[in-house]
Amino acid sequence: MSNTLTATTLAARPVFEGKLLIDGLWLEAADGNKLERKSPAHDQLVAVYAQAGVADAERAIAAARRAFDQGAWPRMRGADRARVLRKAADLILERKHAIAEMETLESGKPLAQALAEIEGSADLWQYAATLARNLHGDSYNTLGENTLGVVLRDPIGVVSVITPWNFPFLIVSQKLPFALAAGCTAVVKPSEFTSGTTVMLGQILIDAGVPAGAVNILVGLGNVVGDVMVSHPDVDMISFTGSTAVGKAAVAKSAATLKKVSMELGGKNPQIVFADCDWDAAVDAAVYGIYFNAGQCCNSGSRILVQESIAERFAAAVVERSRHVRVGDPLVAGMQVGAITTEKQFRTILNHIDAARAAGATVALGGSQIAGTGMYIEPTVVTGVKPDMAIAREEVFGPVLAMLTFKDMDEAVALANGTLYGLSAAVWSQDFTTCLTAARRIRAGTIWVNTFLEGHAELPFGGYRESGIGRELGRFATEDYTETKTLQMHLGARTDWYVPR
């Protein structure tokens, strides 16, 4: 692995400078603090940001509150909001190469993958634009000749949008355009590790015609800015993606003001491989499912549950194919896996591997840091995993595959449901009855059948149990950002209740 090309490129590249977007203006932090970000792949400075504090967060929330209570955005026709969202999608595509490069530099993911993510995000903005025109309530004219009932969907108000570092542009695009389509205003806090693309999105939204204050962007720390965003009384809803532990803390802090919450949290997602699977497709999906985005994906296929009769041969095939996964400089064409995004996560992954060894599992491939500049970990396959081992139950969030075996359908489903999570799963069999039976019994929000990690804007996304609360995407996505209001109207004379003596 060589970083020569990238070192030269980065040396000539200006450091990105980002400010806070508050009430339509790009501002420095009130206390003048700055935050620096180095590339995890190259260990070079790539960005410097104004670092928001409590005063900045309060100012941004106040701006969003005014924009909702007094501004034009919630009162626009759906068609007009849709026009702005479509313009934003067009501008995202126009600037996709610059956005993708920023994402690669801050996250460490391969450039081709980042570019595909930006293009997919633009599609989400386009889809949200269609929902802006189709959001509607209901009416009831069957309540008697003197009564007409109308059900309205009002935008819920100010939304705090908090996003993680693994898919910074995609995840904000799973939230923000749908909140805007409903007529909400927002305060957005990206991860402090990958803020650049969200800051770039802020300028896109200004250029697309989003009014001042309707979207505010804060770069800062979760325990400072995030705490204000989840507890402030002027915030009506929280839309959060991140770890289950942090999500629980956010819900607890929001409880004092009973905010609505949408939580997309962790996963320990199984791929169940039956003996009659499409062999090549299942092997490829097992490898792709764990190494995509270096395994830093809530939907990562981090558990393979394989039927005993093919387990040894399947594990050998996965190990062999994993040997050929290309890991290295994310700016070099052809790389499939880049760097681990944060130093904390890098150490966490290595600790999980060590713990699996200590518990008696076998590290059949990889398991170590790749020497050189940047935070890279070898593609890792762990076999001999038992259901009670931590590697089988806890989210590793890295390029580490745990392989378990099962005898029959009942055991496979029990293993699939045997964690606290329930985000996604896959079933591999050429018998459709097997696939459908397993899919209906697995407690998870998305079940892929003979495929893995595909997504469409039209299909809802979210999890059971500790994988989250609520759903994103799909035709009802904008409804999550609304309150339901009933108008019960009486026609004609009304009989008095009071009867005089």
Q: Just list the catalytic residues.
A: 264, 298
Q: How far apart are CA 499 and CA 501, in angstroms?
A: 7
Q: Is 359 left (phi over 0), alpha (psi -120 to 50) or beta?
A: alpha
Length of the chain: 501
Strand order in the sheet with 482-490: 138-140, 147-155, 482-490
Considering only CA atoms, which of 328, 347, 331, 162 is closest in space to residue 259? Answer: 162
Q: Count CB neighbours of 390 within 10 A.
A: 16
Spatial neighbors of 215 by CB under 8 A, at least 6 apart, are: 21, 176, 180, 185, 186, 188, 202, 205
Burial 123-154 (b: 16+ CB within 10 A, else e): ebbbbbbbbbeebeeeeeeeeeeeebeeeebe
Cβ atoms 16, 25 nearer than 8 A: no
Q: How far apart are CA 342 and CA 106, in angstroms?
A: 10
Q: H-helix or E-strand containing 26?
A: strand 25-27
CA distances from 323 to 41, 269, 366, 424 (A): 21, 22, 9, 26
Q: How far apart are CA 194 and CA 401, in angstroms?
A: 26
CA distances from 287 to 86, 281, 336 (A): 36, 10, 11
Tokens standing for residue 467 = 């994988």
Cβ atoms 331, 374 nearer than 8 A: no
Q: How far apart are CA 231 and CA 82, in angstroms?
A: 31
Cβ atoms 493, 451 nearer than 8 A: no
Cβ atoms 381, 322 nearer than 8 A: yes
Q: Count CB neighbours of 379 within 10 A.
A: 26
